[in-house]
Chain A
């Protein structure tokens, strides 16, 4: 359904006066999602995961440079196709309820996402499906509870008949019941044939619902693994960072490794994780490893087996 090949994104910034510099924020990224699959992108803040969503939707800022290809349904996703498809075939579920128009009743807001057919009828049907009764139509966003607002966001994403859904941090700081409800909606949509890209910093959320997980670190994908590999002490995981992330969870060892993710300002050669890695060797410092297949997953590490 969606295939991203060798995607790199960089920003041009003015340093002093007219002197420009380029900051690379995503390097050489490859992911693939099929129909009915949920792929979670997991990474800490500043790892570049939201930019990937923006690249797919074609809403990167003007000073961003992009290279590589994005294929949707087998054909290249050009700017023209992005404009045509986003909002209907390609839908976006945003992070926060603040993305709803505060001065517009939610019923008409969702109707505005319907491009063809009987608008009112389609909106009612989708609200029914998410247990939003007819009184909800004429409420403003501030009158909704957190859970209801989530359902409205999901409804407005799928009302246009989406085939690819990009969900950017759909559940932060929500109560477990609302989290499970939102994730349940995503699973249901996937089971109906949607391809879903779930972007989150919370590996627990990702494990609950995704089929496979891509781990981001400093703008590169360091590992793509099936969810079942996240178990025990992380023996089946491939990259040392993924293992560290798994073992730092409170339900596991709660044992953090030292250091932090290098920022994009500090340009790195070699593997960006090398300063925190116990397997570090000279090649890790000199050259970024290529991503390769290891045991039904992918990893970008010289030492992974």
Chain B
């Protein structure tokens, strides 16, 4: 399988073109890095690939077919700030089981404690919340994962813990992963190849 972005262009409102005629392929099982200076459109590209924004020009397809706009999206996005990505009025249990029901094995490997399921988002730290967001995105139906600076706010040990789980799951389910990061060391460690934005 292959996620393909063809001749993408995008601007916010009447602003300048942030993405201009961009082409990118992500194959199943591939770990691709995405790097580039602030403001070059990395997060915008992540949102377009996962269907949160529609491009003005070009298309995003899986094996030549459009991505369904209803039901579970096979392209899952994990955000940089988990506290902004979860519903503050839902207990963690509800957030976790929104798309699928992660098994205990996955919860254990991510270090999610049973007691956390009954907590509210403001009672957990950023690192704890991000574990939930990762578990949520790793459904068996996920074919591609877009990870937008998902461990930038976390300490080195939590970062390594989360990436170990993501890489294992990606290998197991043959998921293609796009790693968006400023951290050159992290990209070198994780990725097969790197795409540099301008």
Contacts and interface: CB of A to CB of B under 8 A. Distances in A.
B155 A44 contact: yes
* Contact-size category for A: 20 to 34
A257 B185 contact: no
Contacts of A263: 125
B59 interface: no
Given A146-B38, A173-B80, A176-B182, A44 B157 contact: yes
A255 B38 CA distance: 29
Interface stretch (A54-62, A67-75, A246-254): A246-254
Main secondary structure of the interface of B (DSSP, over half): helix
A102 interface: no
Identify which of B37, B159, B160 gathers the most chain A CB atoms within 10 Å of its CB. Answer: B160
Interface string A166-185: 00000011111110000000
B189 A260 contact: no
Contacts of A201: 153-155
Given A44-B158, A260-B128, A251 B185 contact: yes
A113 to B, nearest CB: 26
A203 B182 contact: no
Given A146-B38, A256-B161, A259-B111, A173 B149 contact: yes
Given A254-B163, A260-B111, A263-B125, A174 B157 contact: no
Contact of A245 (B111, B127, B155, B163): B155
Contacts of B37: 175, 177
A174 B37 CA distance: 8
A173 B155 contact: no
Contacts of A176: 182, 184
A282 interface: no
A178 B160 contact: no
Nearest to A256: B160
B39 interface: yes
A161 interface: no
A94 interface: no
Interface in B152-171: 152-161, 163-164
B41 to A, nearest CB: 13
Interface residues of B, number: 30
A43 B157 CA distance: 11
B51 to A, nearest CB: 23
A250 B157 contact: no
A155 B190 CA distance: 37
A203 B184 contact: no
A244 interface: yes
B182 A250 contact: no
A245 B156 contact: yes
B125 A45 contact: yes
A245 B189 contact: no
B168 to A, nearest CB: 13
B102 interface: no
A258 interface: yes
A46 B126 CA distance: 9
A178 B127 contact: no
B192 interface: no
B186 interface: yes
A145 interface: yes
Contacts of B185: 204, 249-251
B183 A258 contact: no
10 contacts: A45-B126, A146-B38, A146-B39, A173-B152, A177-B37, A248-B160, A249-B160, A251-B188, A260-B127, A263-B125
Given A245-B156, A256-B161, A257-B157, 12 more contacts: A44-B127, A45-B126, A46-B125, A172-B153, A173-B80, A173-B153, A248-B159, A249-B156, A251-B185, A251-B188, A256-B157, A260-B128
Q: 4 nearest interchain CB pairs?
A: A44-B155, A256-B160, A250-B189, A251-B185
